[in-house]
Amino acid sequence: MSFWKTKKLGEMTTEEWESLCDRCGKCCLIKLEDEDTREIHFTSVVCKYIDLKTCRCTRYDERTRLVPQCLDLKQHDFAEFNWLPSTCAYRLLSDGEDLPAWHPLLTGNGKSVEKAGISIKSYAMKETEIDRPEEHIIRWLD
C-alpha cells in the first residue's frame, strides 16, 4: 500500500514528504491577504528564486531565510494548509482526500502535472518583472 495512505503527514520521512510535492509551483506564487476579510488571493507573480522551467526553487535549502514569507510546511500545523491550492497533495492529505490522478506518484511521470494544466509554467511571471502584484490576482477553477 502507498505510504500516503498508511501514514499521516507528520509520520512521513523527509524523502516521502518531499515526493508528495508535485512541482506545480503554485505555493511559490505571491499571495495577498485582504485586510478586511482575511481572504487569500493568489497572483500570477512568482518568487524570484523559482526556476520557471522546472517549477523548483533554486535556493530551496535557504528559502525561508532568504524569503521570510516562505514557509517550511513541515514546520506548521497541518490544519493551517487551507491556504494552499485545492490541488496540493499536502492540503488534500491533510483534509483526508487522496492524491489526484495526475499526481507524479501515481503516474510515474513528472510531466503529468503540466499535461493536466496544474503547473504555473504557462502563466507565471517573476516578481522582478512587475511592479504591482495586486494587478495580477488570479482565480482558480476547481
Number of compact structural domains in the chain = 1
Query: Could you tell me if residue 5 is inside a domain?
Result: no
Q: Residue 40: beta bridge partners?
A: 33
Query: Could you tell me if residue 2 is inside a domain?
Result: no
Query: Could you tell me if residue 7 is inside a domain?
Result: no
Report residue 90 as a C-alpha cell: 499536502
The angle subtended at Cα 55 by Cα 52 and Cα 56, nearest 5°, is 115
Query: Using one digit for the tens of pLDDT, what is the confidence trace for 41-61?
Result: 889 999 999 999 999 999 999
Report residue 45 as a C-alpha cell: 507573480
Residue pair 25/51 in contact by the 8 Å Cβ criterion: no
Q: Give the distance, in angstroms, between the CA of residue 101 and the centroid of all CA atoms in the same chain.
A: 17
Query: Could you tell me if residue 19 is inside a domain?
Result: yes
Query: Could you tell me if residue 43 is inside a domain?
Result: yes
Nearest Cα residue to 122 out of 69, 32, 53, 61 = 53
Report residue 75 as a C-alpha cell: 514546520
Residue pair 46/25 in contact by the 8 Å Cβ criterion: yes
Query: Could you tell me if residue 103 is inside a domain?
Result: yes
Q: Are strands 40-46 and 29-33 parallel, antiparallel or unpaired?
A: antiparallel
Report residue 58 as a C-alpha cell: 533554486
Query: Using one digit for the tens of pLDDT, what is the confidence trace for 79-132?
Result: 776 778 889 999 999 899 999 999 999 999 989 999 999 999 989 999 999 999
Query: Could you tell me if residue 8 is inside a domain?
Result: no
Residue 36's domain comprises: 13-136
Q: Give the distance, in angstroms, between the CA of residue 71 and the centroid of all CA atoms in the same chain.
A: 11
Query: Could you tell me if residue 55 is inside a domain?
Result: yes
Q: What is the pLDDT of residue 97?
A: 94
Gap between the Cα atoms of 119 and 123, Å rounded = 9
Q: What is the pLDDT of residue 45?
A: 95
